[in-house]
């Protein structure tokens, strides 16, 4: 059973004024981004750049009060095998 630890980077966008995180959505009538305590996690920088491009397409300017928070996580990838491998009964 080989375990390999991989480091992943994930991203959030935080409003420095309120401390809230972007949800990745926009208000229906104003086109402004929505914010919450948990916010959305972007899995890679490309997704985040696409989000910013979409906001600009809606004519939403990126605020100097927004910061990108980069999270480094450690995730373990392990080999997978059928659970029956661990049974104590021997096949005849």
Mean pLDDT, residues 40-60: 91
Nearest to 58 by CA among 35, 88, 25, 89: 25
pLDDT at residue 72 tops 60: yes
pLDDT at residue 29 tops 60: yes
pLDDT at residue 87 tops 80: no
pLDDT at residue 84 tops 70: no
Residue 83 has a pLDDT of: 73
């Amino acid at each position: 059973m080989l375990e390999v630890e991989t480091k992943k980077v994930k991203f959030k966008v935080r409003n420095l004024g309120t401390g809230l995180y972007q949800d990745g959505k926009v208000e229906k009538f104003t086109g402004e981004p929505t914010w919450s305590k948990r916010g959305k996690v972007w899995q890679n920088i490309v997704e985040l750049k696409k989000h910013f491009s979409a906001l600009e397409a809606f004519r939403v300017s990126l605020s100097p009060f927004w910061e990108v928070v980069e999270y480094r996580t450690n995730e373990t990838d392990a080999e997978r095998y059928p659970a029956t491998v661990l049974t104590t009964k021997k096949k005849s």
